[in-house]
Structure 1
Amino acid sequence: MDLKVSEINYRNYELLSSMSIEDTMIISAIFSELEQDHSLSNAIQNVVLSYNEFCKITDAEFKPIDEFKIRKILKNAEEKGYCRLFKRCNNYFNLYYM
């Protein structure tokens, strides 16, 4: 798995450590879905379904999520410099993260 990062400095590592486990897990799942050439909307839907199913099966502490929460997590992660979405064409994106 090759990840491209444009700038790396110690501040990025501090940001990485400030991300919650839930957010990191969701961003990793979105990355995996986008690597399979799913559109962003399909990737988000797949992650929502998988995540909520996982929570039901394991009785995990995490609350169920919806598409809006995932979009908010991605937006916050981009603002903090943790990841970056690059549009390829139509609704297809590449996601790069630390």
Structure 2
Amino acid sequence: MTSAGELWLWKALLGVAIMLGALGAFWWYLMGNPVDELALLRRAEVSTGRLVDTIEDEAEDNRGRVGILYVGVYSFRLPDGQTYKASTKSPSNEFPQQASIEYLPG
């Protein structure tokens, strides 16, 4: 049989474990999987892409003002032959002709 003092200690430890688990789940929700980030840091490969298109888009801000936003579309070819497209936004129509991305192979 456990005494009241030991029971209090076990309840406190259980409460701390639940709080740490909730904090870890919240961190995972906000920041993502840290294992994927570590893998990207350790095993990333770099692919260089080229600018294939620019798009002019009108965007309205929360005050109702309309501004022009430029979108640059890049095409990347990986060593295994796969092709990916990615886009980036800019307030000016000046995009570099080449861009690079880091990815996990396989």
Asked which structure has the greater RCO (Cα within 8 Å, sep 6+), the reply is: 1
TM over 0.5: no
**Which structure shows the higher strand fraction?**
2
**Which structure shows the higher helix fraction?**
1
Structure with the greater alpha carbon radius of gyration: 2
